[in-house]
Amino acid sequence: MIMSKRRKDMCRIVTPVVTAFDKNEKPDYEANKKIIDFLIEGGVDGILVLGSSGEFTGMSKEEKYNFFRFYADYTAGRTKLYAGTGSMNFGETKELSNAAIEMGYAGAMVIGPYYYGLDQEKIFSYYDTLAKAVKGDLFIYNFPARSGHSIEPATVKKLLENNENIRGLKDSVSEPGHTNRICQAAKGYKFEVYSGFDDQYLSNLSSGGVGCIGALSNLAPELWSELVRATRERNFEKTAELSKLIHDLMPLYDVDSNFAYLFKRLMKHRGLEIPDRAIFPFDQMEKEAYKKAEALFDQVMDEYKAMSAVTMR
């Protein structure tokens, strides 16, 4: 089937990649190479480096810069890259955003300042000032559960009216209606809206979004990429079946506040030879909680394998 570029562009899975750390909580570059190859071979459409799943809060500015450089060099154009450059320090965010863009990243994805509350006027001021200081594309990362604030559609529209280089938004919200309102406010602009939660992929597309930046794709990139392919090909039955498997995996997010630790353990369980360390103090989990998570993951992946076997007959 020949697929139009428009249909391919409107259905994507970008992986907010986990970071493999060594015993000193520094990036383990050899292990991270294995993660990169696993995701690219799994068929994801892009990788977000140092998003929430990447545990960026535990890294210094220099470590982030070096890690961005490593990703750009090792991927060498094999997939599209986005840089998570959000920081409590505006100067650091600006510097890292420009550095990543110079390295060839498709854009900088920035969560707003957290800890102190932001009203809509301050949110506008922050992203407007940043957009004018960044020499490339900027993506807004809206994650109210972690940042303490949520950008409103009117603020998005105002930002787009004043900045051509604000090119998209990741909307990690519990209410899909918010994403729909963002899409409506951004109509007529070159602006990509992604769901930040895996189970909102289809509702995101129906609202006019382009797909998902979902962390479950760390665990099963082949499942996620097959779902995207089925969507592009308008195979509705297969899309529904694969989407249900994604929904079935969603409880994994609730096992621990730092789900990246669990996800690395499950990737290791799949056979990926990586350390499963996480930043302190999020490097511990009750044994029983992990066993339940592993059992759920295995059950869903067994269902996926059975589904794939039937398709191949």
**What are the residue numbers of the active site?**
141, 170
From CA 22, how far away is CA 111, in angstroms rounded?
26
H helices of the chain, in order, are 5-9, 29-42, 61-75, 90-103, 120-133, 144-147, 153-162, 176-185, 201-207, 221-232, 236-249, 259-269, 287-312
264 to 6, 158, 163, 246, 274: CA distances (angstroms)? 34, 39, 38, 18, 8
299 CB-side CA count, 13 A = 10
Single-letter amino acid code for the residue at 171: D
Closest C-alpha among 86, 79, 77, 75 to residue 108: 86
The CA radius of gyration of the chain, in Å to the nearest whole number, is: 19
